[in-house]
Structure 1
Amino acid sequence: DNSYRIAEVQNDVEVTVYNGGIGLVKEIRETNLSHGINNVKFIDVPSLMDVTSLRIKDINNKAVVLEQNYDYDLISSEKLLEKYIDKNITLVLENGTIKGKLLSIPYTSYGQQYNVYYSAQNSFILQTDEGIMIINEPIKDIIFAGIPENLATKPTLSVSMDSKSAGKHDIEFDYLTGGMNWNANYVCVLNSEDKKMDMNGWITISNNAGTTYKNAKCGLCNNYGKCCGTAG
């Protein structure tokens, strides 16, 4: 089965945050696999993942990993145009539309050139039924048939797995990611005799890794290797 399986829901998530800006993440995701080769997409992974630290396994050893790829080529107007070279698009102009195969795009940023005139040396070139056409008119919109397979709307981990059995599988994967940190703050109040005090402490965790971890068990480690929580 060459279709993609989606492993989206995070289960049993553990995050250990180091105050050097790194997080160690362990999570389990459930997915349905058919017998044989399966292509699985793990979406909602952090954009700052250290791919070299990634470890993936089937908890029950009913499937093995054959190949893994981190898809970080995220969609944008420029990349979408580049991926549509030699494919059909529709240009919406002031007085109608033009359909054809995209042969060339302006060499400067589409976003900067939006809705302006192009010179003959810097224009969209289409292969239409009437022939090759250089577009020297203001372009209001561009219509694409869909999103190419090699573009992602969010960072995605694509994994090829060989499964011994069909059904539900629990897939565990661990990795390091940047964008995480923590710090501690304390407030102390002395009594009127300056002999006793009340102390409150707060831990603030920042997560700029590029994804969220719902209901995660959390541990903390400092630069001296002292840990508490999941890492303890």
Structure 2
Amino acid sequence: MKYQSTAKERISLSLTVYHGGFCMVKEVRRIGVQEEIDEICFTDIARGIEAGSVLAKGFNMLEQRSSQDLLNKSNLLEKYIGQEVAIRKHDTGEERKIRLLSIGDGLIGELQDTKEVVIDPKGELVVPPLPESFFDGPALVWKTAPGKMEDHIKVSYLAEGIEWQMNYIAEIKGTELQLMGWLEIRNDAGIDFIGAALKLMAGKVYRQPRTGDFSPELGVHESSVSRPSIEGYDFRDRHTYRIGQPVTLLNGQTTQIAFLEAHIDSFRTIYEVDKWSNRATIKMEFDNKKTNGLGVSLASGKVKLYSLDTDKELEFIGEDAIGSVTEGEAVSIRIGEAFNIRCNSYEKKRWMQEGVEYITYCYDLANGKEENVRIHIHHSMDEPIWTMESSSHDYEIRNAGNIMFIVRTAAKKEVPVEFTYRVDKR
């Protein structure tokens, strides 16, 4: 017999969502009949299913085919081209039989009695019952081997059309920082995931390009917010977040889940310049440590930063994207450019002496703020091999081609930084 498995027979549903717009769906469904089954129609699945990813347990599969039919006027009528359908008049209810010839540019049919061809006949089109092979959504159809089947089946597959990201909101409160994190999941998979056990996997998973033409239909998204418990753990060199209670992800909606709320004890503001800067770039940094009120793995995401103005009104002051940050690392957020910290850099002098080239470079820093600041100069050398001859300030070699100065600059003061290095051309 043929058996149709729907979401009504679902025992459990699990969902793992990856970066890259896809997920892994894992279902357990009961088999509600005792008769021998030779074909299973597995319906109520995601529109972007990858048929080549299906794993099915609980029966012996001989053959699989997938159907992406969606119930709409066009693909429904295509099933009846060449077949007899009826045109029913609205006023009298009278029906006239035609053989459907084409639906491409309007409806074309052949009258059964006179063999005349009619174009866009007036009335209501009535078609025979839907073919057994036609489903009102995506489906998997399995031919099964004779024999005993278990009372439940386990099916998993990959599907496109669902994505997650991390959003952070940081609020500066004096010398402290309040950080909130939200997991955001967008479902465009063409199906509702009701009461799913949800995992979100951070990090890049390599995949081969798909050759199919699946493209999720994007629409206006509604949003919902929840606050379950979340457990983070490492799995196969990636960090995974397990949501502590079932989650419902409705198709066409964006769901936000509160992930993090931390009071960070200290942060630092850094001003950075390089040889192309006119004004300093503002960065805010804090240590991802338990001793600093945090100490958890943070997935890559966007950070929005807010601070109180002098009139005690909360204002937006910047936004940046951060990469994944493990416990113990520093989080660095680029806010924007400082209005009153300027930089002018230039090559002051270059000369040759006995096959050795000497280069003198200068940075003129100006702090227009009412407070002292530390300015980090990141200078990149144009030559791969060099030796420092003299410098007005201490510096740190970051790598072969980059050095960094940390310059303490008093309020309303200017500080010149000058250094000379040599390159052996012999």
**Considering the TM-score relative to the shorter chain, is it more than 0.5?**
yes
> Matched residue pairs, number?
209
Q: Does 1:143 align with 2:126?
A: yes
Matched residue SS, 1:75: coil
Q: Does 1:66 align with 2:62?
A: yes
Q: Which amino acid aligns with 1:91?
A: I
Q: How far off its partner does 1:107 sit?
A: 4.3
Q: 1:181 to 1:67 in 2, by over 3 A?
A: same
Q: Does 1:160 align with 2:143?
A: yes
Q: How far off its partner does 1:19 sit?
A: 1.4
Maintained 8 Å contact 1:12/1:27: yes
Maintained 8 Å contact 1:73/1:151: yes
Select the residue among 202, 209, 223 that pairs with 1:222: 202
Maintained 8 Å contact 2:3/2:37: no
Q: Which residue of 2 aligns with 1:118?
A: none
Q: Which residue of 2 aligns with 1:43?
A: 43
Residues in 2 aligned to 1:152 and 1:146: alpha-carbon distance in whole angstroms? 12
Q: Does 1:81 align with 2:77?
A: yes
Residues in 2 aligned to 1:57 and 1:87: alpha-carbon distance in whole angstroms? 39
Maintained 8 Å contact 2:202/2:239: yes
More RCO (CA 8 Å, sep 6+): 1
Q: Which residue of 2 aligns with 1:14?
A: 14
Q: Which amino acid aligns with 1:5?
A: Q
| Higher mean C-alpha displacement, 202-211 vs 32-41 | 32-41
Q: 1:141 to 1:228 in 2, by over 3 A?
A: same
Two-structure CA RMSD over aligned residues (Å): 2.6
Q: TM-score, normalised by structure 2?
A: 0.44
Matched residue SS, 1:80: helix
Larger radius of gyration: 2
Matched residue SS, 2:31: strand
Q: How far off its partner does 1:230 sit?
A: 5.2
Q: Which amino acid aligns with 1:212?
A: D
Q: How far off its partner does 1:152 sit?
A: 2.0
Q: Which residue of 2 aligns with 1:117?
A: none
Residues in 1 aligned to 2:118 and 2:90: alpha-carbon distance in whole angstroms? 12
Q: How far off its partner does 1:178 sit?
A: 0.8
Residues in 2 aligned to 1:124 and 1:34: alpha-carbon distance in whole angstroms? 46
Q: Which residue of 2 aligns with 1:114?
A: none
| Higher mean C-alpha displacement, 99-108 vs 199-208 | 99-108
Tell me the alpha carbon deviations over residues 189-212 of structure 1, each in whole angstroms, 9 at most, x when there is no partner.
Answer: 3333x1x33221110011111112
Alignment of 1:123-134 (within 5 A): 123-127=108-112, 130-134=113-117
Q: 1:95 to 1:211 in 2, by over 3 A?
A: closer
Matched residue SS, 1:214: strand
Q: How far off its partner does 1:131 sit?
A: 4.0
Residues in 2 aligned to 1:137 and 1:109: alpha-carbon distance in whole angstroms? 6
Select the residue among 154, 157, 160 that pairs with 1:172: 154
Q: Which amino acid aligns with 1:165?
A: K
| Higher mean C-alpha displacement, 22-31 vs 154-163 | 154-163
Q: How far off its partner does 1:132 sit?
A: 2.1
Q: How far off its partner does 1:38 sit?
A: 2.8
Residues in 2 aligned to 1:71 and 1:200: alpha-carbon distance in whole angstroms? 43
Query: Runs of 5+ in structure 2 lacking a partner?
Result: 205-236, 244-426
